[in-house]
């Protein structure tokens, strides 16, 4: 659930005094998030990408502390401290979240397509390739997130969820329908997407056009794109869940930040 991230492995080795200060600062941040998450810096992602990754990249110093900055698509990739291999895809422009109009604007970057390409960075950290069914890309609703800068979670799927989806994908077609089985206690809307990659197809546009009322209340919805195999043909399962009084709107719950689904190293 925590979205506060840092990428320290690409920085120059600090002095002993600097290393101690860094450890102490990270401890303070960790304690603050644990004890009072409501007081955590909800702009941390934006400050890191806009204040560090972009300027470093523009100055020819590489994308640090990010893993990647794609200037053409206007998106950065950042390792999340939460999880063994979780990466975050974050626009380099100010976008609050799924509810922001630029997400559905004509010609908007396909952030999901970028995130799917960058799943290789998850595999690098795990030191193992993963089946497409083992990886998901999620975005939480405006009611169920801890950061107010748009970001996609790229990470392993929960083993039980992946198994349930593998058994269910044969029932999917290109129309959003309520599933007949729950995933982690929630009954998701789901549809099928064919193809090895997304191309120009936007999951956000599919949600807005595919479920009555979703376009007017995008902020209430959470999405997760999961790789799928349809009888030997590659594709995706796109799952959507709205937030309401009883919960929901947090599709990240279907992922496993410990990556138990990955083969042992």
Asked whether 113 and 198 are in contact (CB, 8 A), the reply is: yes
Question: Which strands form 221-230's sheet, in the order they lie side by side?
Answer: 68-70, 75-79, 87-91, 152-156, 135-139, 221-230, 233-242, 189-194, 177-178
pLDDT band at 19 (very low <50, low <70, confident <90, very high): very low
Asked whether 88 and 153 are in contact (CB, 8 A), the reply is: yes
Average pLDDT, the chain: 88
Reference 37, options 7, 3, 81; nearest CA is: 3
pLDDT given at position 40:
79
pLDDT given at position 244:
87
Indicate the length of the chain as a whole number: 265
Query: Hey, is 27 helix, strand or coil?
Result: helix
The answer as to CATH 3.30.428.30 being correct for domain 74-254 is: yes
Average pLDDT over residues 1-24: 40
Locate 83 and state its tokens.
């999880």
Average pLDDT over residues 112-138: 97
> pLDDT tens digits for 61-101?
999 999 999 999 999 999 999 999 999 999 999 999 999 99
pLDDT given at position 264:
85
Residue of 18 and 258 predicted with greater confidence = 258
Cα end-to-end distance, the chain, whole Å: 25
Q: Which residues make beta-bridge pairs with 179?
A: none
Distance CA 67, CA 7 (A): 8
pLDDT given at position 39:
60
Quote the pTM value: 0.85
Domain ranges of the chain: 74-254
pLDDT band at 7 (very low <50, low <70, confident <90, very high): very low
> pLDDT tens digits for 158-199?
999 999 999 999 999 999 999 999 999 999 999 999 999 999
**DSSP H or E run through 41:** none
> pLDDT tens digits for 21-42?
434 333 333 433 443 444 679 9
Residue of 102 and 247 predicted with greater confidence = 102
Query: Which string of DSSP letters, residue by residue, matches 166-220?
Result: HHHGGG--SS-EE-SS-BTTB--EEEEEESSS-TT--HHHHHHHHSTTTGGGGGG
Query: Hey, is 222 helix, strand or coil?
Result: strand
């Amino acid at each position: 659930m925590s979205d506060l991230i840092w990428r320290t492995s690409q920085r120059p080795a600090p002095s002993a005094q600097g290393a101690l200060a860094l450890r102490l600062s990270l401890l303070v941040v960790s304690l603050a998030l644990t004890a009072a998450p409501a007081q955590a810096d909800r702009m941390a992602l934006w400050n890191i990408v806009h204040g560090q990754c972009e300027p470093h990249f523009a100055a020819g110093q590489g994308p640090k502390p990010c893993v990647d900055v794609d200037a053409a698509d206007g998106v950065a990739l950042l390792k999340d401290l939460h999880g063994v291999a979780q990466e975050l895809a974050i626009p380099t422009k100010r976008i609050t979240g799924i509810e922001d109009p630029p997400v559905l604007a004509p010609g908007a970057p396909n952030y999901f397509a970028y995130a799917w390409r960058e799943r290789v960075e998850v595999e690098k950290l795990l030191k193992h390739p993963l089946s497409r069914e083992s990886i998901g890309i999620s975005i939480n609703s405006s009611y169920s997130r801890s950061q107010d800068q748009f970001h996609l979670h790229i990470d392993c799927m929960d083993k039980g969820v992946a198994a349930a989806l593998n058994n269910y994908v044969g029932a999917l077609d290109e129309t959003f329908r309520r599933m007949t089985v729950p995933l982690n206690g929630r009954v998701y809307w789901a549809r099928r997407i064919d193809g090895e990659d997304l191309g120009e197809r936007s999951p956000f546009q599919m949600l807005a056009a595919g479920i009555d009322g979703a376009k007017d209340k995008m902020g209430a919805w959470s999405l997760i794109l999961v790789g799928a195999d349809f009888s030997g043909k590659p594709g995706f399962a796109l799952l959507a869940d709205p937030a309401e009084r009883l919960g929901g709107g947090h599709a990240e719950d279907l992922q496993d930040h410990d990556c138990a689904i990955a083969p042992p190293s």
